[in-house]
Each structure stands twice: as C-alpha cells, then as structure tokens.
Structure 1
Amino acid sequence: MPRSSSPSPATAAQAPNLTSPEAAAWLAISPQTLRNWRAQGRGPAFRRSGRPGARVYYRLSDLEAWVESQTTTLGGAR
C-alpha cells in the first residue's frame, strides 16, 4: 500500500529551522532588512537559541504563514 505524501504531525512539528541569512534569502530580502524588522517587532516569528544575543532561527512554516498573511488581493476578494 503506498504511503501518503502529506507530512505526519510528527514531521510537521520538526519543520526545518533556517538561520537568519537563509530566511532572508527565502524571503528574497536582505539580511539587514530582516534584522531591522526583528528590532522593530515586525516580520515573521523567530526564535533564539538560548540567551538574548544568541543565534536567531526561523521555522519554514512560520515564514510561509507570515508571507500568506502579507498577501493582498487587488480588486477585492475572489
């Protein structure tokens, strides 16, 4: 019997973490813009590993959700 191609809940919970430069590249923005958004409390959700000033990570699912929330439709909803 073929396996389903949809991810299991356990797999979804282990979504890949991207570093700040990787997340910036995925969003097609500069790393500095992503840093500015973090400092201003804007942009996608992020996590720090450990103490303040430590490395910043972004979950791919958070980036996708944020991009979707930023999408606007001209001419109203379809």
Structure 2
Amino acid sequence: MEHLFLKILADEAQKGNKPSNTFKVVSINRVVVAISERFQVQCNVKHVENHLRIVKKTNGNLYAQFGPKVVLDGMIT
C-alpha cells in the first residue's frame, strides 16, 4: 500500500503538482481513489495527509537534505 502511495506522489511531483512543501489537493485525491479501488478499503483525505506527515517525520533526514522533494528508491524527483 505504501509503495502505491509513494509512487503516485512521485508521479504527481514530476507532473508539477507539488509547487512547494506540500501536494495539491488533486494529487491527494488521486492517492485516495487509487488506494480505495486497489485495496477495497475506505481511504480518505485525512488518512493520506496523516500518512504523508508520518513519511516526512520518519524520513526527516532525507527530507531535510533534499527539501520539499520526493525521494523514492534513491531517485530524487
């Protein structure tokens, strides 16, 4: 589930839907829809936003080093 979460956000960042240190609403909504459909669970915007905060906290050293960029599989996007 997290792999899908990160992949979608990385794709959204490449599309330019991450103008600053956060993602646009449309990007968060794409994650919600994809996770809900793929895993047949109820996912909402709050779940995605909370998990994004967790990812930022647990990967704080990468986040601090590269700023508001998405780091996925050693690749900076």
TM-score normalised to structure 2 length:
0.26
**Could you state the TM-score of these two structures normalised by the residue count of structure 1?**
0.26
Larger Rg: 1 or 2?
Answer: 1
- Higher relative strand content: 1
Higher relative contact order at CA 8 Å, sep ≥6: structure 1 or structure 2?
2
